[in-house]
Structure 1
Amino acid sequence: MTSSYKVKFWEIRINTRAQGEGKKPRIVSHTVRWTVGPCEKSATFKTKGLAESFLSDLRQAAKKGEPFDLESGLPASMTKAKEVRTWYAFAVDYVHAWWPHAAAKSREGMTDALTSVTLVLTKEHPGRPDDEVLRRALRHFAFLPVERRPALTQEVTAALRWLEAASLPLTALEDAKHARAALEALALLLDGKAAATSTYRRKRAVFHHALEYAVEREELSANPLHRVKLRRTKPGGEVDRRSVVNPRQARQLLTAVTYVGRSRGPMMMAMFAAMYFGGLRPGEAAGLREEDCHLPEKGWGLLTLARTRPESSKRYTDSGETHDERGLKHREEKETRPVPIPPELVAILRDHIKTHGVAEDGRLFRTASGKAFSGSTVSKVWKEARGYAFPPEAVASPLAARPYDLRHAAVSLWLNAGVHAPEAAERAGHGVDVMLRVYAKCIEGQREMANRRILEALAV
């Protein structure tokens, strides 16, 4: 242990967070600051009392003549009392603790975010493998439960040994420069370009939750992110109205899908129709079963959605397949969602069942072997269908660029048709506030109506 007797203490710093215009900033934490030799150190606490107690302990140790460790900044007595884990060891433990409670997509996002952070929370150490090798070692081995890990290779073994030796202590995050470096890594893509604001916020949420877990385990005194101000523009989240097809264009696309391939397109057409006429998410369409469908010969039908089958890597699913069966998004496990469907979709689904049958478990949309369509296959069929349905300038535009845009078109159509927001939100499986924010730019006629009402008021 490299140590020094040259210690200097500073005043406790109060960390605040703005509460909005005209409001007094809220105190979120208190930071103890000191130097050991040439090294600046800090530790952040939620309350002033904890910070003062910690600073008092440091001062008492200095008065007793104890040497202070240059790396941790702690006196010998406190260093012995506290075993400090590395960030890498903590991250592995965090993934294992939260894995059983997360959906496949959440697991994938969790490992992706923690991998980005782990690669920057390292010190200079000889023999650093390529970043791509380190990512593979983390995502395909270390950040998986033991029973899911593949056989170790020499390359992965060397990468993990390097990480164990080079990873910074978890407490290093109490130094703002390391917390900021981690956030800046989350704000970039692998090619060095800035990530979308929504992507950054999603990854930051994972990192924040991991640090809250460290506070809960008493391995950190407070969440270091409360002190770091890395401002990113808040994502609007609105749907691009240029991507929304009208009913005529939607029907052109559905017809075009049937011309793709000998069987793939015809077997997928009803799935795309369910996304447009019923506003289903792709995972909800993939999980739709015959028993969920009330399809009368005349009039409106009803889909009672009960399950969804989102796609993810096999590494992250409970089933070991690319599609896990789960409850509906934002709902309790066994909660259902009724979706009335127009006669046109009723006829399409009836014809699909009659022509293609259903899978052994009753699912309507599947390959000839009974499996769910892969996302890559769906995207290929959709891309080819757009080429058949649209002229070149429309193909190059955002118009229905993704199958998910059919759902956006459905909800936009409902709102523009005058369907009350709560009813539209119930059918779509949204909260009313979220739906109105997301689809605000797709609701037509609002400006003209507002102008007319203003003119009427001015005429008084």
Structure 2
Amino acid sequence: MKSYKASVWKLSVNKTTKKPTYLVRWAVDGQRFSESYKTKTLADRFRAKLVRALDKGEPFDTVTGLPDSLRGGKAALSFLDLAVRYVDARWAEASAKQRDSMTDSLATVVPVLVKPGRGRPAPEVLRRALRSYVLPVPRRKRERPEEISAAAKWIEKASLPVAELQEITRAHDLIDALSRRLDGKPAATQTYRRRRAVVFNALEYAVELEYLPSNPLSRVRRKRGKRALQEVDRRVVVNPRQARELLTALTYVGGYDRASGRRLRAFFGCLYYAAMRPGEALGLRRSDCTLPASGWGRIELAETRPTAGKAWTDSGEAHDRRGLKQRSHGEVRTVPIPPPLVRLLREHLEEFGTAKDGRLFSSERGNVIAASSYSRAWKQARELALVPDQVSSVLAFRPYDLRHAGVSQWLNSGVPAPEVAARAGHSVDVLLKIYAKCIDGQEQEMNDRIMQGLGERDEPTD
């Protein structure tokens, strides 16, 4: 409901707090409203906007107390309401990891755009309320503990209108929140960029709905280190001999019968010989594979099973079920596989068979193998296959580093970049920026090639 009966009073100072705050007070149709600001300048600026709207004869909303010019000409939408509506609009089409990222980013900034006042919940309680109850679509009707219920009610009342973001200081507050972790320490550059992208898109949604005239984050210019797209550290990349020794070491992992290590040997072989992502290997089915008795085989990748968490998947399983990364739904990536991998896969099928749904790699109970399980086996294999100095280094520290090694080996074998990119599931541009690295053990070979080009011979040293 709107009213033209509005009045704006002079600024007052609240001296009950440690640092005095400045209070803007006004009334709409007999109902009093107030906003508190840390500085007199900010309070004066907001009061001036109210007076200007009053002079222009704008109607004031009796619920929020704001004139149309501060509400985008529509009923006031709180920042919390915007976050909920944005999640609603994106949830169905988002992957489990995107849902996780969405709620993480929005839970970081929603508590920033709030009215000052008493009774604010502890940061960790407020974040848990947003992340686990208020924002995720399927979890909103869950029974809430008392402290979570109180935190949700507080943020619903305290969340400011989205129109407040037209104040550049509010946009800076959001950026500051995105730049820091919950403990106040600086967030990693990649975390900041990921979160900022989510919040930027949410504010674009507000512009689309005409609650904002433009995206306020577009007006904020801050540099945060290098681009998130970074080259692979060449120190993590194993050479072919080291890769074979690591795969062999897996047969000694897993206690008395060592079945758990053998069960994972072909899985890790896929990461190295076919440069597959772990999620792609977990989704690999027998029907995707052509495994001749000798020679090269072929894999047609169609599905990935990335670890996401039960809270974010539609199925309630820990692993999401998606199409290939950065590919259209139903699109397949064909990867020719060398004889060593063909042999590994045939041996795996002969000993362990497949899961009920045809997946090659599963736990003893037939479930998708947890990342913690294959990471633990990989750690043990490194300790068996590598010398102590290498174990303490970053060499093949993560299972994913086998993919880096596989792509690097293809490139150093002279395979053209477009073909490597097609097999690895990357664009050529991304491939050359990230994966074009010499593998461990080839430095001397490269040095010899340079010396030959210079017409010199590298003399041995005593």
| Shorter-chain TM-score range | 0.7 to 0.9
The aligned counterpart of 2:395 is 399
The aligned counterpart of 2:8 is 4
Note the C-alpha offset of 1:189: 2.7
The aligned counterpart of 2:426 is 430
3-state SS of 1:83 partner: coil
The aligned counterpart of 1:45 is none
Maintained 8 Å contact 1:6/1:36 = no
What are the Cα deviations for residues 411-453 of structure 1, in whole angstroms up to 9, with x where unaligned? 0100111100000000000000000001234477798699779
Change (3 A) 1:311 1:110: same
Note the C-alpha offset of 1:140: 0.9
The aligned counterpart of 1:336 is 332
The aligned counterpart of 1:120 is 112
What are the Cα deviations for residues 381-408 of structure 1, in whole angstroms up to 9, with x where unaligned? 1112211222222122111111000000
What are the Cα deviations for residues 57-88 of structure 1, in whole angstroms up to 9, with x where unaligned? 99685255x7999x999647876963212111
The aligned counterpart of 1:280 is 276
The aligned counterpart of 1:20 is none
3-state SS of 1:177 partner: helix
Q: Distance in 2 between matches of 1:346 and 1:372?
A: 22
1:308 matches 2:313: no
Work out which of the residue numbers 244, 256, 259 in structure 2 matches 1:251.
Answer: 244
3-state SS of 2:414 partner: coil
The aligned counterpart of 2:210 is 218
Maintained 8 Å contact 1:287/1:308 = yes
Q: Distance in 2 between matches of 1:199 and 1:216?
A: 26
Work out which of the residue numbers 235, 258, 263 in structure 2 matches 1:267.
Answer: 263
Change (3 A) 1:251 1:75: same
The aligned counterpart of 1:40 is 45
- Sequence identity of aligned pairs in percent? 51
Letter in 2 for 1:260: V
Which stretch of the first structure deviates more once superposed, 104-113 or 184-193? 184-193
Change (3 A) 1:352 1:285: same
1:322 matches 2:318: yes
Maintained 8 Å contact 1:92/1:143 = yes
3-state SS of 1:304 partner: strand
Note the C-alpha offset of 1:193: 3.1
Note the C-alpha offset of 1:2: 9.1
3-state SS of 1:258 partner: helix
Q: TM-score under structure 2 normalisation? A: 0.82
Q: Distance in 2 between matches of 1:110 and 1:74?
A: 29
Change (3 A) 1:410 1:62: same
Change (3 A) 1:294 1:175: same
3-state SS of 1:265 partner: helix
1:184 matches 2:176: yes
Maintained 8 Å contact 1:41/1:73 = no
Q: Distance in 2 between matches of 1:37 and 1:254?
A: 64
Change (3 A) 1:393 1:86: same
Give 5+ residue unaligned stretches, structure 2.
12-39, 456-462
The aligned counterpart of 1:206 is 198
Maintained 8 Å contact 1:240/1:442 = no
Note the C-alpha offset of 1:125: 2.2
Note the C-alpha offset of 1:380: 1.4
1:134 matches 2:138: no
Maintained 8 Å contact 1:293/1:303 = yes
What's the RMSD between the two structures over aligned residues? 3.2
Number of residues paired by the alignment? 414
Note the C-alpha offset of 1:303: 0.5
Maintained 8 Å contact 1:105/1:316 = yes
Change (3 A) 1:417 1:149: farther
Change (3 A) 1:449 1:231: farther
Maintained 8 Å contact 2:72/2:213 = no
Q: Distance in 1 between matches of 2:372 and 2:382?
A: 15
Q: TM-score under structure 1 normalisation? A: 0.82
Give 5+ residue unaligned stretches, structure 1.
8-34, 43-54
Q: Distance in 1 between matches of 2:112 and 2:452?
A: 56
Q: Distance in 1 between matches of 2:73 and 2:9?
A: 19
Letter in 2 for 1:266: R
Note the C-alpha offset of 1:315: 1.0
Change (3 A) 1:63 1:165: closer
Note the C-alpha offset of 1:410: 0.4
Q: Distance in 2 between matches of 1:197 and 1:399?
A: 24
Change (3 A) 1:147 1:113: closer
Q: Distance in 2 between matches of 1:271 and 1:104?
A: 23
The aligned counterpart of 2:221 is 229
